[in-house]
Amino acid sequence: MVQNNTWLNALTHLILILGIVFVAFPVYIAIIASTRGSFDFLQGLVPLLPGTEAIENYSRILNAGVSTSGAPPLGLMMTNSLVMALSIALGKIFISILSAFAIVYFRFPFRTLAFWMIFITLMLPVEVRIMPTFKVVADLGLLNSYAGLTIPLIASATATFLFRQFFLTVPEELMEAARIDGAGPMKFFRDILLPLSRTNIAALFVILFIYGWNQYLWPLLVTTDSSYYTVVMGIKRMADVADSEPQWNLVMAAVVLAMLPPIVVVIGMQKLFVKGLVESEK
Amino acid sequence: MQTKRAIFPNKFLPYALLAPQLAITFVFFFWPAAQAVKQSFYKEDPFGLSSRFVGLANYTKLFQEPDYLNSIGRTAVFAISTTGLALILALIFAVAVDRLIRSRNAYTTLLLWPYAVAPAVAGILWWFMFNPTVGILPYMLDVVGYDWNHRLNQTDAMILIVLAASWKQISYNFIFFLAGLQAIPKSLKEAAAIDGAGPVKSFFTIILPLLSPTSFFLLVVNIVSALFDTFAIIDATTAGGPAQGTNVLVYKVYQDGFIGLNLGSSAAQSVILMAVVILLTVIQFRYIERRVQY
Amino acid sequence: MSSIVLKDVRKVYAGNVEAVKGVSIDIADGEFIVLVGPSGCGKSTLLRMIAGLEEISSGEVSIGDRVVNRVDPANRDIAMVFQNYALYPHMSVYNNLAYGLKNRGMAKAEIDRRVKEAARILEIGDYLDRKPRALSGGQRQRVAMGRAIVREPAAFLFDEPLSNLDAKLRVQMRVEIKKLQKDLGTTSVYVTHDQLEAMTLADRLVVLNGGSIEQIGAPIDVYDKPASTFVASFIGSPAMNLIDAKADASGLAAAKGEGLSGANAYGREAYVVGVRPEHLKVLRGEAAAPADAALTLRMKVKVLEPVGAESYLYGELPNGGASLVVRVESHETFAIGEMVTLHAPAKDVHFFDAQSGRRIEG
Ligand SMILES: Nc1ncnc2c1ncn2[C@@H]1O[C@H](COP(=O)(O)OP(=O)(O)O)[C@@H](O)[C@H]1O
Ligand SMILES: [Mg+2]
Q: Is C327 in the pocket of ligand 1 (CB under 6 A)?
A: no
Residues C219 and C268 in one domain: no
Identify which of C339, C309, C307 has the alpha carbon closest to the alpha carbon of residue C324.
C339
> Looking at C227, C259, C289, which one is the last position of a domain?
C227
Ligand nearest to the CA of B5: 1
* Centre of ligand 1 from the C-alpha of residue C12, in Å: 10
β-sheet bridge partners, residue C158 = C81, C190
* Mean pLDDT to the nearest integer, C331-344: 93
Q: Are residues C345 and C223 in the same domain?
A: no
Q: Taking CB atoms and an 8 Å cutoff, what residues of chain B touch C82?
A: none
Whose CA is closest to A48, among A61, A68, A23, A31? A31
Q: How far apart are CA B102 and CA C39, in angstroms?
A: 47
Residue pair C139/C127 in contact (Cβ under 8 Å)? The answer is yes
Would the CB of B4 count as within 6 Å of ligand 1?
A: no
On whether any CB of chain C is under 8 Å from the CB of A44, the answer is: no
Least Cα separation, residue A182 to chain C (angstroms): 4
Kindly identify which residue of chain C lies nearest to residue A184, measuring between CA atoms: C74
**CB C185 less than 6 A from any atom of ligand 1:** no
Rounded to two decimals, the pTM is 0.87
pLDDT of residue A282: 46
The answer to whether residues C16 and C141 belong to one domain is yes
Lowest-confidence segment of A271-275, C118-122, C335-339 by average pLDDT: A271-275
Answer yes or no: is pLDDT of A215 > 80.
yes
Beta sheet of C350-353, edge-to-edge order: C251-254, C241-248, C270-275, C350-353
Q: Do B3 and A185 touch (CB under 8 A)?
A: no
Do residues A31 and B131 lie in contact, with contact meaning Cβ atoms separated by under 8 Å? no
Q: Is residue B13 part of a domain?
A: no
Q: Is the CB of C19 under 6 A from ligand 1?
A: yes
User: Mind giving me the DSSP string for C19-40?
Assistant: EEEEEEEEE-TT-EEEEE-STT
Cβ–Cβ below 8 Å for C53 and A176: yes
Interchain contact, C73 vs A179, CB within 8 Å: yes
CATH number at residue B265: 1.10.3720.10
Nearest by CB to residue B121, choosing from A121, A217, A235, is A235
| Domain-embedded: residue C359 | no
Q: Touching check for C47 and chain A: CB below 8 Å? A: no
Q: Does A198 touch chain B (CB under 8 A)?
A: no
Chosen from C13, C55, C81, C90 to mutate, greatest number of chain A CBs within 10 A: C90
Answer whether C44 contacts ligand 1 (Cβ < 6 A).
Answer: yes
Whether the per-residue pLDDT at B292 is higher than 60: the answer is: no
Q: Which of B223, B93, B229, B260 is nearest to B161 (CA)?
A: B229
Buried b (16+ CB within 10 A) or exposed e, A198-216: eebbebbbbbbbbbbbbbb
The answer on pLDDT for A134 being more than 80 is yes
- Phi-psi category of residue A170: left, alpha or beta, with phi > 0 → left and psi -120 to 50 → alpha: beta
Using the 3D structure, point to which of C178, C204, C227 is the last residue of a domain: C227
pLDDT at B294 over 60: no
Contact list, A176 vs chain C (CB under 8 Å): 48, 51, 53, 73, 80, 82, 86
Instruction: Identify the pLDDT of residue C234.
Output: 95
pLDDT tens digit sequence for A139-185: 999 999 999 999 998 877 888 988 998 899 899 899 999 999 999 99
Greatest Cα pair distance, chain B, in angstroms, is 76
Assign residue B83 a region (left: φ > 0; alpha: ψ between -120 and 50; beta: otherwise): alpha
| Same-domain status, C158 and C257 | no
End-to-end Cα, chain C, rounded Å: 40
Write the DSSP assignment of A93-107 as a string of letters: HHHHHHHHHHHHHB-
Measured in angstroms, the CA of A169 and the nearest CA of chain C are apart by: 13
Residue C297 and residue C219 share a domain: no
Q: Give the residue, out of C11, C12, C13, with the most ligand 1 atoms within 8 A of its beta carbon, to mutate for a pocket test.
A: C13
Angstrom distance (rounded) from CA A169 to CA A196: 11
The domain that holds C12 is classified in CATH as: 3.40.50.300
Higher per-residue pLDDT: A4 or A234: A234
Q: Is the ipTM of this complex over 0.95?
A: no
pLDDT at residue C343, rounded to an integer: 95
Chain C residue closest to B5 (CA)? C54
Q: Is C39 in the pocket of ligand 1 (CB under 6 A)?
A: yes
Pairwise pLDDT comparison (C336 vs B47), residue with the higher score: C336
Decide if pLDDT at A68 tops 70: no
Determine the Cα–Cα distance for residues A201 and A141; give it in Å rounded to an integer. Answer: 32
Could you give the count of Cα atoms lying within 13 Å of A139 in the half-sphere of its Cβ? Answer: 10
Short-list B193, B178, B47, B187, CA closest to B115: B178
B291 at A interface, C-beta within 8 A: yes
C-alpha triplet B9, B13, B15: angle, nearest 5°:
115
- The percent of residues in chain B predicted with pLDDT above 70, rounded, is 96
Query: Are A270 and A207 spatial neighbours (Cβ–Cβ below 8 Å)?
Result: no
Write the burial class of residue C296 (CB in 10 Å: 0-12 exposed, 13-18 middle, 19+ buried).
buried
Assess contact for A192 and A179: CB atoms under 8 A: no
Judged against a pLDDT cut of 80, whether residue C227 lies above it is answered with yes
Least confident of A238-247, B43-52, C13-22, C351-360: A238-247
Cis omega (within 30 of 0) for bond into C318: no
| Alpha carbons C55 and A62: distance in angstroms, whole number | 64
Q: C274 forms bridges with which residues in the sheet? A: C242, C350
Report d(CA B110, CA B174) in Å as an integer: 11
Average pLDDT over residues B85-105: 92
pLDDT of residue A240: 73
Quick one: fold of A34-278?
A: MetI-like fold (1.10.3720)
For the segment C172-192, the average pLDDT, to the nearest whole number, is: 95
pLDDT for C113 equals 97
With a cut of 90, say whether residue A249 has pLDDT above it: no
Q: Does C84 touch chain A (CB under 8 A)?
A: yes
**Chain C (26-65) residues lying within 8 Å, Cβ to Cβ, of chain B:** 48, 53-54
Ligand 2 centroid to C10 CA: how many Å? 16
Ligand 1 atom 5: residue of nearest CA: C13
A positions 109-168 inside 8 Å of B (CB): 111-112, 114-115, 117-125, 127-133, 135-137, 151-152, 154-155, 160, 165, 168
What's the pLDDT tens digit per position in C91-110? 999 999 999 999 999 999 99
Percent of chain C with pLDDT over 90: 90
Q: Which of B118, B121, B131 is nearest to B160 (CA)?
A: B131
Q: Which tens digits make up the pLDDT trace of B263-290?
A: 888 889 989 988 888 888 788 777 766 6
pLDDT of residue B170 exceeding 90: yes
Return the CATH number at C278.
Answer: 2.40.50.140
For all residues of chain B together, what is the average pLDDT? 86
Q: Chain A partners of C103 at a C-beta cutoff of 8 Å?
A: 181-183, 187
Decide if pLDDT at A187 tops 80: yes
Residues of B within an 8 Å Cβ radius of C: 5-6
Largest Cα span, chain C: 79
Using CB atoms, pick whichever of A44, A123, A216 lies closest to residue B133: A44
Q: Nearest-CA neighbor of C146 among C116, C113, C174, C103?
A: C116
For residue C81, the chain A residue with the least C-alpha distance is: A177
State the residue range of the domain holding B214.
54-291
Q: What residues of chain C lie within 8 A of the CB of B5, using their CB?
A: 54
| Helix B212-228, helix B66-99: angle, nearest 10 | 140
CB B158 within 8 A of CB B80: no
For ligand 1, whether the C-beta of C192 sits within 6 Å is no
| Number of separate domains in chain C | 2
Q: What is the pLDDT of residue B293?
A: 36
Using 50, 70 and 90 to split pLDDT, how confident is the model at A244?
A: low
B174 by Cβ neighbours in 10 Å (0-12 / 13-18 / 19+) ranks as buried
pLDDT at A280: 59
Instruction: Report which residue type is found at C309.
Output: A
* Whether C144 and C170 share a structural domain: yes
Q: Decide if C362 is inside a domain.
A: no
Per residue in C273-297, pLDDT (tens digit) is: 999 999 999 999 888 888 889 999 9
**Chain A residues inside the 8 Å CB shell of C48:** 176
Give the residue extent of every domain in chain A: 34-278
Residue C182 lies in a domain: yes
Please check whether residue C51 touches A, CB under 8 A: yes
Burial A1-14 (b: 16+ CB within 10 A, else e): eeeeeeeeeeebee
Would the CB atoms of A235 and B124 count as touching at under 8 Å? yes
User: C245 pLDDT exceeds 70?
Assistant: yes
Containing structural domain, residue C335: 241-353
C-alpha C76 to ligand 2 mean position (Å): 21
Decide whether any atom of ligand 1 lies within 6 Å of the C150 Cβ: no
State chain C's mean pLDDT as an integer.
Answer: 94
- Is the pLDDT confidence value at A1 over 50? no
Residue C148 inside a domain? The answer is: yes
First and final CA of chain A: distance in angstroms? 28
Check whether the bond before C238 is cis (ω within 30° of 0).
yes
Domain identity same for C263 and C215: no
Alpha-carbon distances of B135 from A245, B27, B139, C11, rounded to whole Å: 12, 45, 7, 75
Residues of B in contact with A103 (CB under 8 A): 3, 14, 18
Greatest Cα pair distance in chain A: 78
Whole-number Å distance between alpha carbons of B211 and B183: 9
The minimum CA-CA distance between A178 and chain C, rounded to whole Å, is: 8
pLDDT of residue A281: 55
Residue of C nearest to A172 (CA): C86
Segment B77-91 mean pLDDT: 96
Task: Quick: pLDDT tens for C58-93.
Answer: 999 999 989 999 999 999 999 999 999 999 999 999
Q: Band of the pLDDT at B195, cuts 50, 70, 90?
A: confident
**Do both C160 and C248 map to the same domain?**
no
Separation CA A84–CA A208 (nearest Å): 11
Residue ranges of E strands in chain C: 4-13, 17-27, 32-36, 58-63, 66-67, 78-81, 155-159, 187-192, 204-209, 212-217, 241-248, 251-254, 260-262, 270-275, 281-284, 293-306, 310-316, 323-329, 339-345, 350-353
Picking from C238, C217, C221, C239, the residue whose alpha carbon sits closest to that of residue C230 is C239
**pLDDT at residue B101 in the model:** 84
Q: Count up the domains in chain B and report the number.
A: 1
